[in-house]
Structure 1
Amino acid sequence: MLAFDPQLLGNLYAQPAFQKDFGYEYQGSYIISAPWQTGLSMGNPVGQVLGALAAGYPMEWYGRKATFSVCVIGTATIVFIQFFARSLPVLLVGELLGGLILGAYVVIAPAYASEVCPAALRGTLTSYINLCFVMGQLLANGVTAGTNQLGNTHWAYSIPFALQWVWVLIIIPGMPFAPESPWWLARKGRLEEAERSLHRLGETDAASKLAMIIETDRFEQEMEAGSTYWDCFRNVNLRRTEISVGVYAIQVLSGIYLINYGTYFFTLAGLPTQNAFDMGIGFLAVGFLGTCLSWVLLQHFGRRTIYNVGLAVLAILQLVIGILDCIPNYKNHTGVIWAQSSLMLVWNFFYDLSIGPVCFVIICETSATKVRAKTIALATAVQAVLGIVMTVAIPYLINPDQANLRGKLGFFFGSLAALSLVWSYFRVPETIGRTFEELDIMFERGVPTRKFGGYKI
């Protein structure tokens, strides 16, 4: 839903029924004004910043499951605002409030996933979050393409908003079957409930697993890991917070926000409109495939290796796209236009094969368990702030009446990706196969980044 909502809104700007009901007449047709487009598009990321930071406290006070349940009910309520909105101010309120809760989900999902699955599946389950983003975008494109055929009735945009209730109807009946995080229960001293939760999760030796959780928590107390946002920046946690924030921020810096402008980018590159639309669908389809293949890589290669190699490939591809845009009489070379557009698809494939899904694995494995929710919240907030910057900047960089960079935008994002690679090479450690206690010990001992993989405890 976090990907569905902004993708849906971006598609509705071009929908006749939405333009007629929410826009104004201009030269014989209806349009949504640029300030309102920016305002509505900002509602989701601004809400994410606030929602992510706010989610850390109730997750620690009331647990992952209770917080998630309240958020699901909140989503069901806020969709009513979006569904019945018939003016831009009301829709903006719905988008902002919706973004608040969606920001909370981004914190809850990786924290909960990393605490309920065995270490062998930790990479696959946490990286699955990236696949959810891709599926949300694909669904939004498919839904709006279908409802666009309904003509100028309000159902053309009301049905897409209403479909968000489907997820609520699926999730709520399943909530009783979801156990609470045994890590959270153990920290609260509810050891019997923690052991029952481990049994429900399929642990054959729940007592030993619980003993390890208690020992890890005791060790983090000795490390003074703390449990507040301030503690994320104290002692050994500062390094762990830096890594988590860094890998999430690099998603934006490497150019992922171009996905929101994929079809527009292909049009500006010179592709016919229908071909540009087909390329936009292909953009997301290869992302789906890339994320699924990343699960195979995560089982056989280290997180650090996949992340750094993937980031290097992304930087090279962006720079090549920029170079192709410098060819004289660019618009007259159809082959160059197709090559540039195809490279964007290749770029998205490698993004979703590497830094897209692996980012969530690294965030979950490098953050201390006591401040995991707050570390993820900080990383989410920083990423969302950078997303707001890109939401404002990219239209000015890419539009023909502004900077008109077209494919030269590859130089901008390629350079940022190259700088990010330098940082990740020296700062992102190898965490594959390590228990949370082992990672606590290595961070406490200040093990150098490049020695994490082969370090013996």
Structure 2
Amino acid sequence: METKLSREVTADHPPVNTKAGAGSVDVALDEAIRFEHTLTFVEACKLYPSAIAWSMFVSLGVIMLAFDPQILGNLYAMPQFQSDFGYQFEDGYIISAAWQTGLSMGNPVGQVVGALVAGYPMELFGRKWTFGACVALTSALIFIQFFARSLEVLLVGELLGGLVLGCYAVIAPAYASEVCPMAIRGVVTSYVNLCFVIGQLLGNSICAGTAKLTDHWAYSIPFALQWFWCLIILPGLIWVPESPWWLVRKGRLDDAQTVLRRLASEKVDIQQTLAVIVETDKLERELEMGSTYWDCFKGVNLRRTEISVGVYCTQVLSGIYLINYGTYFFNLAGLPTEEAFQMGIGFLAVGFLGTIISWWLIVRFGRRTIYNTGLFSLVVLQLIIGILDCIPGRPTNVIWAQSSLMLVWNFFYDLSIGPVCFVIISEASATRVRSKSIAVATAAQGALGCIMTVAIPYMINPDQANMQGKLGFFFGGLAALCFVWAYFRVPETKGRTYEELDILFGRKVPTRQFRNYVIDSEVSH
């Protein structure tokens, strides 16, 4: 196939004009492209209820990924856990910064190793069976955490569990982006962020409920409740459809057609959808996109990988890892234990609300504007928190003001860079290297997470730096640097099919021209 591409005038959300032979494949392509661009969000929800449901089901793994580090962070503020595993400090007990660092390393280390490992089975065996294997392994490794009665055993459980949990961050957005049409792609991929918030909120709520217990069940119950998700997911795996994009790359066109029929209503012409998937895969092979980790850093893919890595790492650099220490942070800020747990729950509740509202913004405004505006808001809020901490004596009203601003910060985070990140990493990556591109971004985020996991306990612990609200200066400064990068590098991907995105990146279209760039393609077979 010979492809000729030429630039025309700019317009908002332009269509692709495809001139081809008179064959049925060409007609199907024309109709499919026109259908994708005219389909509204509401119409897509009506036509693809199964696709939405299965993408949400696979994203349940992310709840487990978020739940584990959240309960661990809460345990540091739990009196029974402190007395059983910590040492005496002043009038109570604390877990040393060194052990907090070691225990909390499981999740970010898992995201680094697990994410990179996940890329291979996802391409060899598909999204479905890789997901199933991970859930089965998670259910087995929970036993170590549940029966741990020493920090050493708990450390082993966290490290091994983290290796598997890291895979879910790759599987969920990749699967969601490949089973749903363009009109709902942004919402279903951003739903991954809601699953993070749900896992964190459940972790905080459960620990708040068990914190008053005076035996090992105070921390054993939260660990045991991780089995709940395994019991839901494993039976449902029997009916999970495989990704049609993966099936096409494997040459299994009949299976891909069967899956597309399951994902869409009877009103959808799946032959058109299949034609677009085949054509996009063909185009990426012509552009020599490749399908290995090394291909993520070759040619046009380098820019696409940079964008995915950048938006994911920005989450860490702007302060998201403070969420895992939210209750502990509020406790150290001067709030009583019970109020610290309540503030931690409220912290995540506003995040839940922010993510829900973000869906309307994503459908209405796209990605770039929301991402950059939200990131700038986070910078301002972090700096205000830092300034308030400089008030001499830190009176009670200042402590409550800082805590309240942290809630506002989390709302804006989950309104913008939290959910939009997962949309961007799914859309910026080429379909042939999507699982590996997301894996690289997840691993990079996890590597930064390792650094933060080491640093944060030493920055906030009362027997160490005891920075308290001055952390706002640290994360506010890092977020400001991220904002400058995002302004020049994060493009608008809303309203573009995967084939269009391949063409835009292939032409090296400048970042700020992505939104209004018109593609006129002439394709001859």
TM-score tier, shorter chain, comes to: over 0.9
2: CA distance, partners of 1:398 / 1:35: 13
Q: Aligned residue for 2:418?
A: 356
**Match for 1:119: what amino acid?**
M
Question: Is 1:76 aligned with 2:145?
Answer: no
Deviation, structure 1 residue 437? 0.5
Q: Check 1:337–1:9 CA distance in 2 against 1; reply closer, same or farther (3 A cut).
A: closer
2:171 is the counterpart of 1:113: no
Deviations 1:117-162 (A, max 9, x none): 111111111111111111111111222222334422x333222212
Shift in Å at residue 323 of structure 1?
1.9
| 1:301 maps onto 2:391 in alignment | no
- Mapped to 2, the partners of 1:191 and 1:83 lie a distance apart of 45
Residue in structure 2 matched with residue 37 of structure 1 by the alignment:
100
Distance 1:208 1:387 in 2: 42
Distance 1:341 1:448, change over 3 A: same
Classify 1:423/1:267 alpha carbon distance in 2 versus 1 (closer, same or farther; 3 Å).
same
What is the CA deviation profile of residues 165-186 of structure 1, one whole-angstrom value per residue up to 9, with x for unaligned ones?
A: 1111111121122110000000
Alpha-carbon distance in 2 for matches of 1:400, 1:230: 44
Equivalent AA in structure 2 for residue 87 of structure 1: S
Tell me if the contact between 1:76 and 1:168 (Cα under 8 Å) persists in the aligned partners: yes
Residue 331 of structure 1 aligns to a residue whose secondary structure is coil
Q: After TM superposition, give the deviation of residue 379 of structure 1 in Å.
A: 0.6
Shift of 1:163: 1.1
Moved more, 415-424 or 107-116: 415-424
Question: For structure 1, which segment, 169-178 or 209-218, has the greater mean C-alpha deviation from structure 2 after superposition?
Answer: 169-178
164, 188, 196: which is aligned to 1:101? 164
Cα distance 1:231–1:116, how it changes in 2: closer, same or farther (>3 A)? same
| Equivalent in 400, 418, 422 of residue 484 of structure 2 | 422
Q: Per chain length, whose mean CA-contact separation is higher, i.e. which structure has more relative contact order (CA < 8 Å, sep 6+)? A: 2
Q: Corresponding residue for 1:200?
A: 262
Closer, same or farther: CA 277–87 of 1 in aligned 2, 3 Å: closer
Could you tell me whether the CA contact under 8 Å between 2:333 and 2:468 is conserved in 1?
yes
Separation (CA, whole Å) in 2 of partners of 1:84 and 1:264: 24
Cα deviation 1:24-73 (Å, max 9, x = unaligned): 67789765444333211112211221100000000000100011111111
Is the contact between residue 77 and residue 337 of structure 2 (CA under 8 Å) also seen in structure 1?
no
Distance in 1, Cα, partners of 2:224 & 2:310: 36
Match of 2:283 in 1: 219
Q: Which 5+ residue runs of structure 1 have no aligned equivalent?
A: none
**Equivalence for 2:232:** 170
Distance in 2 (CA, whole Å) between partners of 1:44 and 1:251 is 15
TM-score when normalising by structure 2: 0.83
Q: Residues 288-328 of structure 1: CA distance to partner in whole angstroms, max 9, x if unpaired?
A: 1000000010110020000000011111111122222223x
Measure how far apart 1:259 and its partner are: 1.5
- Are residues 1:147 and 2:207 paired? no
Q: Give structure 2 stretches of 5+ with no counterpart.
A: 1-63, 520-525
Residue in structure 2 matched with residue 255 of structure 1 by the alignment: 319
What's the counterpart of residue 131 of structure 1?
Answer: 194
The question of whether the paired residues in 1 share the 8 Å contact of 2:74 and 2:325 is answered with no
With normalisation by structure 1, the TM-score equals 0.95
2:407 equivalent in structure 1 = 345
Q: CA deviation at 1:402?
A: 3.5
Instruction: Report the CA distance shift for 1:139/1:49 in structure 2 as closer, same or farther (over 3 A).
Output: same
Q: Do structure 1's residue 88 and structure 2's residue 146 form an aligned pair?
A: no
Q: Percent identity?
A: 73
Distance 1:413 1:26 in 2: 28
**How many Å apart are 1:270 and its aligned residue?**
4.0
- Name the CA shift for 1:91/1:325 in 2 (closer, same or farther; >3 Å): closer
Q: Does the aligned pair in 2 maintain the 1:110–1:360 contact within 8 Å? A: yes
Change (3 A) 1:249 1:440: same
- 2:310 counterpart of 1:246: yes
When the two chains are superposed, the root-mean-square deviation of aligned CA atoms in Å is 1.9
Structure 1 pair 68–406 and aligned structure 2 pair: CA distance change class (3 A): same
Contact conserved, 1:330 with 1:336, CA < 8 A, in 2? Answer: no
The match for 1:405 is 467
Distance 2:420 2:160 in 1: 29
**2:470 & 2:137 partners in 1: Cα distance?**
42
Q: 2:406 is aligned with what amino acid?
A: M
Q: Quote the Cα distance in structure 2 between the aligned partners of 1:66 and 1:239.
A: 30
Q: Decide which moves more: 267-276 or 382-391.
A: 267-276
Partners of 2:219 and 2:103 in 1: CA distance: 15
